[in-house]
């Protein structure tokens, strides 16, 4: 905590009180620091812009924006002074006592300087025009706690496979929005032998870059704020459960995250969740609106299903927009139609696959939902989800669709048992579950139900009538075709 306080206080000094506040001594500048400060002044225009004149002594003559202690520079703040040019590398032990370096809001260009600054804990180079990130940029600053590189829009693409950022054990706050980042986060966050490489890292922003790939394991980290909006990240959104106990702001908009939202009961500190414009499917868990600290939730531009989540009036949210553009079963609050509820339970047991979510929208399954067949009284009579790459289990909600005549789930990777409720469907005529991974004992179907089960090595027959596809020439699919075309 004291470290954090120190950091925050320093930030306040930099941004609010400015350079006059900190005490300055009048000792002559050490020769190593003098050499660097003079080359910096000449290379960046600080000699004219800030009066950092060659003939004067930086510490003794109190160069504006510079603080010294005992003839050594401790703090350089030249934020927003319209400096330009290339910042020189440090060398020969110069600035060995520097703790804060603020170069933000200028027009520096060229490569980021190689800084060998053993004491530095705050570095701001944000809002500049830097062009290149040297591979060893971070290596010389082992004490860094806060880095801001945000908004260096001209920076050539760089990534953590070449740039070594993994040697910053004290890092607390890292900000690199719109800074040319590419590649994956695995190289940055993969564990060292000592565990997570950044044990104190709490605030990360890397929005508006070209990051790609899946998210690494973040379990056991202290991350409170994560902004990775507007990248090309993919994989399941479920990774956020790694951050359940620590997360306060999660901003993941405009990526390609898939899967469904996790239970939020453990996210006790969450106040901002933006996951809009991804590929997220399924029902919004009721645990999300129930969070005590939740203030903003953005969900639109996904494939969310089920009822509109009901947030307290004080929560900023885009659910109305999400609803109007096709997510959720209705525009207003309230439950979905009973058949929709059953179908969503079925989809949920398969993990709300994208292939279904892209079609199973709004509140009428007979309006062309993929794999759903209805009769002219708009009752669901057939479900054909064969060969869709489904995994997961068969939900007992199949048994709630009382008008079902045919079920075809063949050629997927469905596991678990066949629910007994399926065998009780009064109008069922055919069920094909062949070529899956079902286990257990078949429930007993009525004798006039055609049942296809081969290709499920773990499934035991119950002794009722079972059609074996290899002995019957007619394929189940074709039987289903006949059945559906006659409806």
Sites of contact with ligand NAG (CB under 6 A): 35, 91-92, 104, 126-127, 148, 150-151, 153, 157, 159, 175, 182-183, 191, 195-196, 217, 219-220, 312, 314, 391, 413, 415, 437
Q: Which residues contact 44 (CB under 8 A, 6 or more apart)?
A: 78, 83, 84, 85, 86, 87, 106, 108
At 94, list the tokens.
């110069």
Q: 357 near 266, Cβ under 8 Å?
A: no
**Alpha carbon distance 50, 86 (integer Å):** 17
Q: What is the nearest approach in angstroms of ligand NAG to the Cβ of residue 162?
A: 8
Q: What is the nearest approach in angstroms of ligand NAG to the Cβ of residue 300?
A: 22
Q: Toward ligand NAG, which CB reaches closer, 45 or 416? A: 416
Q: Toward ligand NAG, which CB reaches closer, 31 or 325? A: 31
Q: Toward ligand NAG, which CB reaches closer, 145 or 150? A: 150
Q: What is the nearest approach in angstroms of ligand NAG to the Cβ of residue 127?
A: 4
Q: What is the nearest approach in angstroms of ligand NAG to the Cβ of residue 242?
A: 9
Q: Which residues contact 328 (CB under 8 A, 6 or more apart)?
A: 304, 305, 306, 307, 308, 319, 322, 362
Q: Toward ligand NAG, which CB reaches closer, 143 or 388? A: 388
Q: What is the nearest approach in angstroms of ligand NAG to the Cβ of residue 53?
A: 19
Beta bridge pairs of residue 274: 251, 298
Q: What is the nearest approach in angstroms of ligand NAG to the Cβ of residue 224?
A: 12
Question: CA end-to-end span of the chain, whole Å?
Answer: 70
Q: Toward ligand NAG, which CB reaches closer, 217 or 472? A: 217
Q: Report the candidate in 225, 262, 255 with the shortest Cα–Cα distance to residue 241.
A: 262
Counts of helices then strands in the chain (DSSP H, E): 9, 29
Q: Toward ligand NAG, which CB reaches closer, 80 or 338? A: 80
Q: 358 near 321, Cβ under 8 Å?
A: no
Helices (H), 77-117: none
Q: Toward ligand NAG, which CB reaches closer, 48 or 312? A: 312
- For residue 399, what is the DSSP state? G
Q: 449 near 427, Cβ under 8 Å?
A: no
The phi and psi torsions of 250 (rounded to 5 degrees) equal: -125, 110
Q: What is the nearest approach in angstroms of ligand NAG to the Cβ of residue 54?
A: 15
The phi and psi torsions of 203 (rounded to 5 degrees) equal: -130, 125
Q: What is the nearest approach in angstroms of ligand NAG to the Cβ of residue 367?
A: 31
Q: What is the nearest approach in angstroms of ligand NAG to the Cβ of residue 290?
A: 8
Q: What is the nearest approach in angstroms of ligand NAG to the Cβ of residue 353?
A: 12
Q: Toward ligand NAG, which CB reaches closer, 128 or 323? A: 128
Q: 255 near 228, Cβ under 8 Å?
A: yes
Strands, E, within 336-476: which ranges?
A: 372-374, 380-384, 391-393, 406-408, 413-415, 430-432, 439-441, 450-452, 458-460
- For residue 288, what is the DSSP state? T
At 196, list the tokens.
């997570």
The phi and psi torsions of 72 (rounded to 5 degrees) equal: -120, 135
**Alpha carbon distance 353, 95 (integer Å):** 57
Q: Toward ligand NAG, which CB reaches closer, 167 or 403? A: 167
Q: Toward ligand NAG, which CB reaches closer, 26 or 220? A: 220
**Alpha carbon distance 135, 158 (integer Å):** 9
Q: Toward ligand NAG, which CB reaches closer, 259 or 365? A: 259
Q: Toward ligand NAG, which CB reaches closer, 12 or 474? A: 12
Q: Report the candidate in 289, 231, 288 with the shortest Cα–Cα distance to residue 264.
A: 288
Q: What is the nearest approach in angstroms of ligand NAG to the Cβ of residue 182?
A: 4
Q: What is the nearest approach in angstroms of ligand NAG to the Cβ of residue 219?
A: 5
Give whole-number Cα distances, 295 to 206, 271, 312, 328, in Å.
22, 5, 9, 21
């Amino acid at each position: 905590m004291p470290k954090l306080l120190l950091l925050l206080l320093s930030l306040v000094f930099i941004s609010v009180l400015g350079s006059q506040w900190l005490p300055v001594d009048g000792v002559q500048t050490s020769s190593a620091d003098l050499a660097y400060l003079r080359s910096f002044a000449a290379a960046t225009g600080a000699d004219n812009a800030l009066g950092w004149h060659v003939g004067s002594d930086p510490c003794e003559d109190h160069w504006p924006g510079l603080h010294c202690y005992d003839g050594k520079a401790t703090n350089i703040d030249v934020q927003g002074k319209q400096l330009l040019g290339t910042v020189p590398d440090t060398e020969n032990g110069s600035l060995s006592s520097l703790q804060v370096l603020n170069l933000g809001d200028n027009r520096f260009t060229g490569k980021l300087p190689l800084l060998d600054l053993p004491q530095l804990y705050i570095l701001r180079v944000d809002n500049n025009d830097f062009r290149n990130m040297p591979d060893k940029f971070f290596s010389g600053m082992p004490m860094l706690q806060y880095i801001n590189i945000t908004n260096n829009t001209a920076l050539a693409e760089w990534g953590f496979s070449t740039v070594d950022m993994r040697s910053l054990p004290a890092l607390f706050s890292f900000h690199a929005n719109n800074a040319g980042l590419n590649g994956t986060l695995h190289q940055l966050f993969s564990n060292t032998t000592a565990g997570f490489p950044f044990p104190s890292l709490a605030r990360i922003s890397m929005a508006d870059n070209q990051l790609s790939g899946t998210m690494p394991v973040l379990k056991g980290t202290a991350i409170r704020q994560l902004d990775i909006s507007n990248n090309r990240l993919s994989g399941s959104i479920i990774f956020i459960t790694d951050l359940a106990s620590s997360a306060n702001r999660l901003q993941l908009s405009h990526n390609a995250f898939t899967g469904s939202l996790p239970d939020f009961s453990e996210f006790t500190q969450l106040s901002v969740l933006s996951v809009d414009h991804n590929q997220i499917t399924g029902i919004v868990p009721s645990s999300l609106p129930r969070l005590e600290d939740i203030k903003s939730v953005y969900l639109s531009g996904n494939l969310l299903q089920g009822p509109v989540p009901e947030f307290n009036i004080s929560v900023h949210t885009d659910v109305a927009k999400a609803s109007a553009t096709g997510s959720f079963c209705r525009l207003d609050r309230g439950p979905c139609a009973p058949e929709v509820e059953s179908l969503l339970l079925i989809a949920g047991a398969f993990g709300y696959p994208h292939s279904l979510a892209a079609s199973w929208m709004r509140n009428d399954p007979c309006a062309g939902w993929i794999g759903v067949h209805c009769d002219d009284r708009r009752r669901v009579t057939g479900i054909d989800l064969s060969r869709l790459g489904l995994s997961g289990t068969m939900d007992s909600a199949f048994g709630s669709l009382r008008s079902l005549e045919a079920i075809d789930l063949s050629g997927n990777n469905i596991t678990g048992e066949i629910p007994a409720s399926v065998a009780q469907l009064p109008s069922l005529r055919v069920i094909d579950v062949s070529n899956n991974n079902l286990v257990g004992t078949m429930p007993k179907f009525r004798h006039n139900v055609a049942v296809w089960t081969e290709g499920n090595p773990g499934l035991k027959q119950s002794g009722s009538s079972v059609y074996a596809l290899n002995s019957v020439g007619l394929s189940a699919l074709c039987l289903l075709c006949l059945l559906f075309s006659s409806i």
